[in-house]
Amino acid sequence: MQKGMDCHIHTFYQRCGNETLSVPNIIRRAEALGLRKIAITDHLRYNKDKLEAFHYIKSDIDAVETDIEVFFGVELDYMECDGDFFYSREIHEDIGFEVVIGGIHQDYTDSQDISEVTEIQHRHFMKTLTNPLLDVLVHPFWFNKGAVEKRAPEFWEKLIVSVPDEMITEMAEASAENRCAIEVNSHAVFWHSGYTDKFKHGYVEFLNRLKEKGALFATGSDAHDINYIGHSYYAEGILHGLNVPKSQIWWPQKGE
């Protein structure tokens, strides 16, 4: 399989990442790690005033000479449950983003009902996978620390292995049909301190079920610190272990 892609790296420009994550630092770190393609993808959530900082990111990318393919990207988040992204084709074309990743970043419920939590997530997964402006659905079934801690570890362990077959099929078919990859996120999922080893093993099986149905996959570190860049190799190792064929690995191409 292809190796060396980290499609999910943040910077300090939007205060997404810490001060170690300047564009030159990111690129030099990626070079040292042998990465071949990277996407720099700061958050765009609710505020048009944040758009200005993306111009600085783009100009810094253009100013660094490197043999690595560096993609200028963005990570989107829903503005509310069943709402929309703060994004449009006009923004897409005006700013010139080359890679657009995004997805749900909240649980939107205090429920202890696995089916309710799963259904909310799945609705947003499908909305993302069928959005023509999106390239990658980020970290499915990632939850922030607050959401994780209000439920027992066993809740999450059961949830990840009980995603209904019809949801798996819908996700995989939408991914393949729309050429929207499903991210294997190394840091946010496999380095998540709130998730048990049992959950993480179940997550690998979740990915395997998607693979068997033909989903496309992308790999990303979700780096918020310079030392996290390249954790995407771990994600690539998971896909290699699952024997995911090259045809199901998404890599961005310049000019697409």
CA separation, residue 113 to residues 57, 109, 117, 120, 152 (Å): 42, 10, 6, 11, 12
User: What is the C-alpha separation between 232 and 139, in angstroms, rounded?
Assistant: 12
pLDDT of residue 83: 95
For residue 176, tell me if it sits in a domain: yes
User: What is the C-alpha separation between 74 and 187, in angstroms, rounded?
Assistant: 18
Q: What is the DSSP string of the chain?
A: ----EEEEE--TTTTSS-TT--HHHHHHHHHHTT-SEEEEEEEE-S-GGGHHHHHHHHHHHHHS--SSEEEEEEEEEBSSTT--BS--HHHHHHHT-SEEEEE----------HHHHHHHHHHHHHHHHT-TT-SEE--TT---HHHHHTS-HHHHHHHHH---HHHHHHHHHHHHHHT-EEEEEIIIIIT-TTS-HHHHHHHHHHHHHHHHTT--EEEE--BSSGGGTTTHHHHHHHHHHTT--GGGB----TT-
For residue 255, tell me if it sits in a domain: no
* Cα torsion 123, 129, 132, 137: sign: positive
For residue 185, tell me if it sits in a domain: yes
> How many domains does the structure of the chain reveal?
1
pLDDT of residue 224: 93
Asked if 96 and 59 touch (Cβ cutoff 8 Å), the reply is no
pLDDT of residue 52: 84
Strand partners, 39: 71
For residue 198, tell me if it sits in a domain: yes
For residue 226, tell me if it sits in a domain: yes
For residue 134, tell me if it sits in a domain: yes
Nearest to 41 by CA among 5, 71, 79: 71
pLDDT digits (tens, 9 = 90+) for 181-230: 999 999 999 999 999 999 999 999 999 999 999 999 999 999 999 999 99
Q: Which domain holds residue 154?
A: 5-248
User: What is the C-alpha separation between 235 and 221, in angstroms, rounded?
Assistant: 8
For residue 227, tell me if it sits in a domain: yes
User: What is the C-alpha separation between 60 and 167, in angstroms, rounded?
Assistant: 41
CATH number of the domain where residue 165 is located: 3.20.20.140
Low-confidence residues of the chain: pLDDT under 70: 1-2, 47, 49, 256
pLDDT of residue 151: 97
For residue 164, tell me if it sits in a domain: yes
